[in-house]
Amino acid sequence: MEELRNAIINVLRKVRAHRNLYVRNEEAVKQHLIGEIFQALGWDWNNPEEVRPEERTEDGRADYSLILDGGVFAYVEAKNMGVNILKRDEPLRQLARYCFNSGVRYGILTNGTVWIAVKAFEEGSRLWDRVLVAVNVEEEPLERAVLKLSLLSKARIRDIERLSSLLKALELSFEGLRREGYSEKTLVEYLTSREGSTTVPVTELRGDESPKAAYVYDNGWKLLPLPEKSIKGVLLAVLLYIEKKSSGYQREEIRKAYEHIRTLKLDPKTALEVLRKLEEEEKLRIAVEL
Per-residue pLDDT of the chain (290 residues; tens, 9 = 90+): 899 999 999 999 999 999 999 999 999 999 999 999 999 999 999 999 999 999 888 778 899 999 999 999 999 999 999 999 999 999 999 999 999 989 999 999 999 999 999 999 888 889 899 999 999 999 999 999 999 999 999 999 999 999 999 999 999 999 999 999 998 888 877 776 654 456 788 888 888 888 888 888 877 778 888 888 899 999 999 999 999 888 888 899 989 989 999 888 888 889 899 899 988 888 888 988 88
Identify which of 206, 207, 225, 205 has the alpha carbon closest to the alpha carbon of residue 215: 225
In the chain, the amino acid numbered 141 is: P
Distance CA 166, CA 150 (A): 14
Q: How many CB atoms lie within 10 A of CB 241?
A: 21
Identify which of 83, 91, 139 has the alpha carbon closest to the alpha carbon of residue 111: 83
For residue 28, the 8-state DSSP code is H
The residue length of the chain stands at 290
CATH 3.10.180.10 fits 2-160, yes or no: no
Q: Is residue 231 a contact partner of residue 211, using CB atoms and an 8 Å limit?
A: yes
Angle (CA) 268 272 273, round 5°: 120
pTM over 0.75: no
Please classify residue 248 by burial: count the beta carbons closer than 10 Å to its beta carbon, then call 0-12 exposed, 13-18 middle and 19+ buried: exposed
Distance CA 281, CA 87 (A): 44
Task: Tell me the domain boundaries of the chain.
Answer: 2-160, 193-289
Distance CA 227, CA 213 (A): 10
